[in-house]
């Protein structure tokens, strides 16, 4: 099938690559010249396991093309994905200007029937706005004879496992009430829908809300666990034991109940805010969502509070080793990362940071440039040198079993603030460390 994808961000690029891999002919359109040229050379702007080779191979095979030519894009695909960004407005609502601009472009240049697929995470009602926009432009052109449908088909990929998530989706949500569209969508996704039927068809608004409900539910689980961890610390209980104890109940399950330094990334914080905004706009007080968000904001400060308390608020002139800058492992993404809240608080308090991350060093450089309070170190070992304490913010695999004697020898004081519960508190004490974790006192 001929497929066009507008937007070569996380969602668009991964989607394009996996659709091309199964044999569809995909044209990816982006307004960024530079990005398109790089993609043609096989240079991927993000770190995502497996993506680079998929892009290179399919581009070489001619099944995956990159262009800035929107007109050619509209001409190419019977299905037209909209996968452009929806950055939050100042007030937290999702800004649809890029989505609507693509809708207008499609309306402007389509000469035959098209299926327009909203893949970006957009508020309930957005598909209707896309429909109205396309219709308006077609009317202006006097081309009401051209038919089209707008489908909501949200994406559920996770950064760090985006390729695998897209190739083996848990479910494929299709929001439309048009039977012909359902047939085309089934054909498009057939290669990913083999063992069991993963396609769930519903109305457009329910599909749009499903995306937000999924992310908000997961964020709720995390904030709930962070709240329990705070309680456990104060009550003298061990959140790790509690986690195992509740996870064993299949109604609760083990996924997404790890306490930590708060959720970050480009999705949870933004989507929570957007749904709260949607609720406010219809005069519905989304009490639970607001609590989830506020718990998360506080949680991002807990590491700093522990550090400040440990050093009696005397952080000026101190140096801290920070392991982990990305918002989670296997990505270089630092959007809304807890590491940023922590480092910025440390700097404000006059402390220096020596940071290491396996993938996010370039991103940190881009964000903070030549900041005299930040030294970006080439290895996790060099970050430790002459630091007053070690702070762990992201649970990268190679932080899990470090050489503790080496760490002790490098630090001026053997203290670790662990925001991800990587080690066993009892063992750390036995090794001679002062060890702070999340929700564990024993």
Q: Which residues bind ligand UGA (CB under 6 A)?
A: 121, 155-159, 215, 218, 222, 256-258, 260, 263-265, 267-268, 327-328
280/271 Cα distance (integer angstroms): 14
User: Hey, what are 196's tokens?
Assistant: 């069991």
Considering the candidates 28, 166, 216, 267, report the single residue annotated as catalytic: 267
Torsion of CA 325, 331, 334, 340, to 10 degrees: -20
Nearer to ligand UGA by Cβ, of 133 and 395: the residue is 395
CA 111 to each of CA 60, 75, 139, 333: distance values in angstroms, whole numbers, following the listed order: 29, 7, 13, 39
Shortest spacing between CB 44 and ligand UGA, in angstroms: 17
Indicate the residue among 23 and 49 with the shorter CB distance to ligand UGA.
Answer: 49
Active-site residue, 216 included: no
Bridging pattern class, strands 352-356 and 25-29: unpaired
Select from 436, 438, 442 the least CA-distant residue to 308: 436
Pick 9 or 135: Cβ nearer ligand UGA = 9
* Shortest Å distance, C-beta 230 to ligand UGA: 14
How far apart CA 108 and CA 151 sit, in angstroms, is 19
413, HSE (Cβ side, Cα atoms, 13 Å): 14
Distance CA 38, CA 12 (A): 16
Q: Which is nearer to ligand UGA, 149 or 418 (CB)?
A: 418
Q: How far is the CB of 69 from ligand UGA (least distance, A)?
A: 28
Contact 239, 440 (CB under 8 A): yes
Of the two residues 106 and 391, which places its CB atom closer to ligand UGA in the complex? 391
Among 56, 57, 54, 64, residue whose Cα is nearest residue 30: 64
Q: Give the integer Cα–Cα distance in Å for 426 and 442.
A: 6
Nearest distance, CB of residue 425 and ligand UGA, angstroms: 19
CB 160 to ligand UGA: min, Å: 7
Task: Give the phi and the psi of residue 325 in degrees, each rounded to 5.
Answer: -120, -30
Q: Is the CB of 258 or the CB of 320 nearer to ligand UGA?
A: 258
Q: Where are the beta strands (DSSP E) in 292-425?
A: 319-323, 352-356, 374-376, 389-392, 415-418
Q: Compute the least distance from the CB of residue 175 to ligand UGA, in Å.
A: 16
Task: Give the separation between CA 13 and CA 32, rounded to whole angstroms.
Answer: 13
The residue among 338 and 414 lying less far from ligand UGA, judged by its C-beta, is 338
Burial class, 16, CB count within 10 angstroms (exposed 0-12 / middle 13-18 / buried 19+): buried
**Of 250, 263, 269, residue with least CA distance to 224:** 263
Mark 225-264 as b/e (b = at least 16 C-beta within 10 Å).
Answer: bbbbbbebbeeebbbbebbeebeeeeeeeeeebbbbbbbb
Which of 159, 240 has the CB closer to ligand UGA? Answer: 159
Minimum distance between the CB of residue 402 and ligand UGA, rounded to whole angstroms? 20
CB of 244 to ligand UGA, least distance (A): 13
4 within 8 A of 27, measured Cβ to Cβ: yes
388 vs 395 by CB, closer to ligand UGA? 395
Question: Which H or E element spans position 216?
Answer: helix 204-235
Query: Least distance to ligand UGA from the beta carbon of 148, Å?
Result: 26
Kindly report the backbone phi and psi dihedral angles of residue 201, in degrees, each rounded to the nearest multiple of 5, phi listed first: -100, 135
User: Could you tell me if 272 and 292 are in contact, meaning their C-beta atoms sit under 8 angstroms apart?
Assistant: yes
Which of the residues are catalytic? 267
């Amino acid at each position: 099938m001929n497929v066009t994808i507008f937007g070569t961000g996380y969602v668009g690029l991964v989607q394009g690559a996996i659709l091309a891999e199964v044999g569809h002919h995909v044209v990816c359109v982006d307004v960024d010249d530079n990005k398109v040229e790089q993609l043609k050379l096989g240079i991927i702007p993000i770190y995502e396991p497996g993506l680079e080779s998929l892009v290179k191979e399919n581009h070489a095979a001619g099944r995956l093309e990159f262009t800035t030519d929107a007109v050619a894009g509209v001409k190419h695909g019977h299905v037209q994905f909209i996968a452009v960004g929806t950055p939050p407005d100042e007030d937290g609502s999702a800004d649809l200007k890029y989505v609507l601009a693509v809708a207008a472009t499609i309306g402007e240049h389509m000469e035959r029937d098209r299926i327009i697929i909203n893949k970006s995470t957009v508020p309930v009602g957005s598909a209707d706005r896309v429909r109205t926009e396309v219709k308006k432009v077609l009317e202006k052109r006097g081309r009401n004879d051209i038919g089209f449908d707008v489908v909501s088909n949200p994406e559920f990929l996770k950064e760090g496992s985006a390729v695998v998530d897209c190739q083996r989706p848990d479910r494929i949500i299709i929001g439309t009430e048009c039977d012909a569209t359902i047939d085309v969508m089934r054909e498009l996704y057939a290669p990913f829908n083999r063992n069991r039927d993963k396609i769930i068809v519903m109305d457009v608004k329910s599909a749009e809300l499903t995306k937000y409900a999924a992310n908000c539910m997961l964020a709720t689980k995390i904030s709930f666990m962070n709240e329990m961890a705070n309680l456990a610390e104060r009550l003298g209980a061990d959140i790790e034991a509690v986690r195992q104890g509740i996870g064993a109940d299949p109604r609760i399950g083990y996924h997404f109940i790890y306490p930590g330094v708060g959720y970050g990334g480009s999705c949870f914080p933004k989507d929570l805010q957007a749904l709260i905004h949607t609720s406010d706009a219809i005069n519905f007080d989304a009490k639970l969502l607001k609590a989830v968000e506020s718990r998360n904001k506080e949680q991002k400060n807990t590491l700093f509070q522990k550090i400040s308390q440990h050093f009696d608020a005397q952080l000026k002139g101190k140096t801290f080793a920070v392991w982990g800058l990305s918002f989670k492992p296997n990505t270089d993404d630092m959007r809304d990362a807890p590491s940023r809240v922590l480092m910025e608080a440390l700097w404000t308090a006059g402390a220096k940071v020596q940071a290491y991350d396996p993938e996010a060093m370039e991103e940190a450089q881009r964000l903070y440039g030549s900041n005299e309070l930040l030294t970006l170190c080439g290895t996790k070992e060099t970050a430790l040198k002459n630091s007053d304490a070690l702070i762990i913010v992201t649970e990268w695999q190679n932080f899990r079993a470090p050489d503790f004697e080496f760490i002790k020898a490098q630090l001026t004081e053997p203290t670790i603030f662990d925001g991800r519960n990587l080690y066993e508190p009892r063992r750390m004490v036995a090794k001679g460390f002062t060890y702070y974790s999340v929700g564990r006192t024993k």
